[in-house]
Amino acid sequence: MSPMKNSPDFSKILTKAIAALAGGLLLFALVVSLFTLGFRAIYDGRIFPGIYSGWINLSGQTPTDAAELLKNEYTYPGQGKITLQYDDLSWEASPAELGLFFSPNYNAELAFQTGREGSITKRVAAQIQVLRHGIVIAPQFVMDEKTGTEYLEGIADGVNQPVIEASLELEGLEILVQAGQIGREMDIPASLDVVALQMRTLQDGSIPLIVYETYPDILDVSAQAETAREILSQPLVLIIPDAAENDPGPWELSPQQLVEMMIIERISTNDGDSYRIALDPEMLREYLEKRTKKINREPQNARMYFDDDTRELVLIEQEFIGLELDIDQTIVVIEDQLATGNHEIALVVEKTQPDVTGESTAEELGVIELVSSQSTYFFGSNSSRINNIKTAAAKFHGIFIAPGETFSMAEQLGDVSLEAGYSEAWIIFGDRTIKGVGGGVCQVSTTLFRAVFFGGFPVVERSPHSYRVGYYEQKPNGANNSKLAGLDATVYVPQVDFKFTNDTENWLLMETYLNKTRNSLTWKFYSTLDGRTVDWSTTGLKKITDPPDPIYEENPELAKGVVRQVDWAVKGATVTVTRNVYRDGQKLWQDIFRTKYEPWAAVCQYGPGTNKMPPENPDPDDPCKKN
């Protein structure tokens, strides 16, 4: 232990020192208290000196005076201008309308309490600071978010709008357009935050509102509407490209027809959604398919006749180029062309050139001489039957048959109808001879058969008549020539046909000539003789059978006492014709044509109530004669 610490003198010294320190502190506290009391006494009820609210010196001001001073200086909330903007819209508001408020009394009280609040040490320190440097108090503004939100909600009605998709509709020929609209929605909290930042500067300013835009998938359809109006502005005309005089068309679709076909469909692509304006492909296909019968055709050779004097071909009818409509490609072309405003559109057709044109020569085709000619006679035919012979024969005049081609008479003959120029005449139908359209056409098929038969051409298909027809066994003077039995051929489109083949290396030209004076039909073949000859033989009529008894029928359409014979008795028989074809003495082939003719009964019709019908003893030579 240190001796000094136990020394009485040290204790006394320490005691005195502590007492002196305590006295000094007490004196300092007394001095501070006196200073504080004195400072507060001097500025009793007034703001201490050196205190500023922002830039405003409030020294010595009572709180009331300070509040009035602050009120006059801080006018920004009421007199400031904040411009709110969106696009071309704008609104002007005071900061107070946007929720910024300033309380002069609160800020004056805040300045007054500076140096008066807290512990004595804190108060003394504050008072010393105001005396030495002064204190600047930031003015206190209050942001009322509710007020600002309500103001922004009020103007949001002029900004916000729903998303509207653009659309197109048809009403008759009118195009109805619903314009698209961009959706807008103001972000009020975010916009208020931006406004608050500006108002903290206590400066006027222009604030862009925060608005979120939502674009529709389709905003503008004006171009598509114009396309639709353009499509419907005039008729659509469809034509054969580079149409010749004998080509079909044109075809016109009116705006009323087009609007029925028009479709407005929404489509999606990588570039977004849009509307497609077009004609309905299926309706357009149906329209085109209905016209293929007039458009599609096989190439048709030129029709000519051989001039025996000049030995050259003479043009009768120009050739037809073959046409085949490509419907799929035509639909594509129509859509593309209409989109460009074109209303006269060429169909997509494949054209096929015929083998024989108007420029073809006799030498090129090998048609240089007569190779076969046959005539049949029709004495006793009425005008209707002669008209049918003429109409049918004209179908074959000037027709060419290619080397190796099998020719179908029914195919070339086509429709046998009143519309095609034929008349009603007697025809064989089943087991009866009746009035029907085209009676007499078999005169033409029989004449062709004989030209083929005696020309030495192969017969592919031939059907005889059910019974012997007198016209086909007539001589040039009208007398009967039974040797011609078995050399007839019938055609009944489309069930019964006559076909033969041009088995030569040259083209075959057919010509037909009707001579009303001579009651004859002549069929000629022109080509190049190749050395072939024909010999033939016939068995003549065999197994001859008598016709059945006459048939008597009451016909309510006939008057009483009227008797009419509608069918004539013909004996039945069989006949076999043999043909041998040679070339340069060498036999090429033999063919045999066997025909069985049925016996045919006479048919007499009479009006109701006619006396002595049917007769008890019919006259064999005149079965319809009343006894």
DSSP 470: G
pLDDT at site 592: 97
Same domain, 584 and 491: no
Q: What is the pTM of this model?
A: 0.63
**Residue 337 belongs to a domain with what CATH number?**
3.10.20.800
Q: How many residues does the chain have?
A: 627
SS3 assignment, position 206: strand
Same domain, 254 and 377: no
The span from the CA of 440 to the CA of 492, in Å, is 11
Asked whether 502 and 460 are in contact (CB, 8 A), the reply is no
pLDDT at site 475: 93
> Distances in Å between the alpha carbon of 412 and those of 352, 401, 416, 438?
19, 11, 11, 15
Q: Around Cβ 424, how many Cβ atoms within 10 Å?
A: 15
Position 391 in a domain: yes
| Long-range contacts (CB closer than 8 Å, 24 or more residues apart) made by 477-482 | 478/377, 478/379, 478/380, 478/519, 482/540, 482/541
Same domain, 543 and 626: yes
Q: What is the enclosing helix (H) or strand (E) of 391?
A: helix 383-394
> Whole-angstrom distance between the N-terminal and C-terminal Cα of the chain?
192
Domain count, the chain: 4
pLDDT at site 170: 82
Nearest to 409, CA basis, from 351, 361, 471, 457: 457
pLDDT at site 382: 87
Q: What is the pLDDT of residues 324-333, one digit of tens each?
A: 999 999 999 9
Position 209 in a domain: no
Same domain, 515 and 387: yes
Same domain, 380 and 482: yes
Position 450 in a domain: yes
Nearest to 155, CA basis, from 193, 188, 194, 189: 188
pLDDT at site 208: 95
Q: What is the pLDDT of residues 223-270, one digit of tens each?
A: 888 888 888 999 999 999 999 888 899 999 999 999 999 888 888 888
The span from the CA of 32 to the CA of 42, in Å, is 15
Position 585 in a domain: yes
Please name the amino acid found at residue 44. D
pLDDT at site 436: 56
Is the C-alpha dihedral spanning 157, 163, 166, 170 positive or negative?
negative
The span from the CA of 570 to the CA of 483, in Å, is 16
Position 610 in a domain: yes
Last residue of a domain, one of 528, 560, 576: 528
Position 206 in a domain: no
The span from the CA of 442 to the CA of 488, in Å, is 8
Radius of gyration of the chain (CA): 60
The span from the CA of 86 to the CA of 207, in Å, is 9
Same domain, 262 and 375: no
Q: How many CA atoms lie within 13 A of 239 on its CB side?
A: 12
Same domain, 448 and 487: yes
Same domain, 336 and 380: no
Position 134 in a domain: no
Is the previous residue joined to 241 through a cis bond, with omega within 30 degrees of 0?
Answer: no
Same domain, 484 and 618: no
Position 83 in a domain: no
pLDDT at site 3: 47
pLDDT at site 2: 45
Helix, strand, coil content of the chain in percent (nearest 5): 30, 30, 40
Same domain, 459 and 346: no
Average pLDDT per block of 10 residues along the chain, 627 residues long: 52 66 56 59 88 91 93 93 94 95 93 86 81 87 94 93 88 86 94 94 94 90 86 94 89 94 86 85 95 93 97 95 96 92 95 95 97 95 90 96 97 89 64 58 96 98 91 91 94 93 98 96 97 96 92 90 86 96 95 94 90 85 79
Q: What is the enclosing helix (H) or strand (E) of 267?
A: strand 262-269
Q: Around Cβ 324, how many Cβ atoms within 10 Å?
A: 15
Asked whether 581 and 456 are in contact (CB, 8 A), the reply is yes
Nearest to 402, CA basis, from 354, 350, 459: 354
Same domain, 512 and 375: yes
The span from the CA of 377 to the CA of 64, in Å, is 144
Give me the domain span that covers residue 457: 366-528
Is the C-alpha dihedral spanning 379, 384, 388, 390 positive or negative?
positive
Same domain, 378 and 519: yes
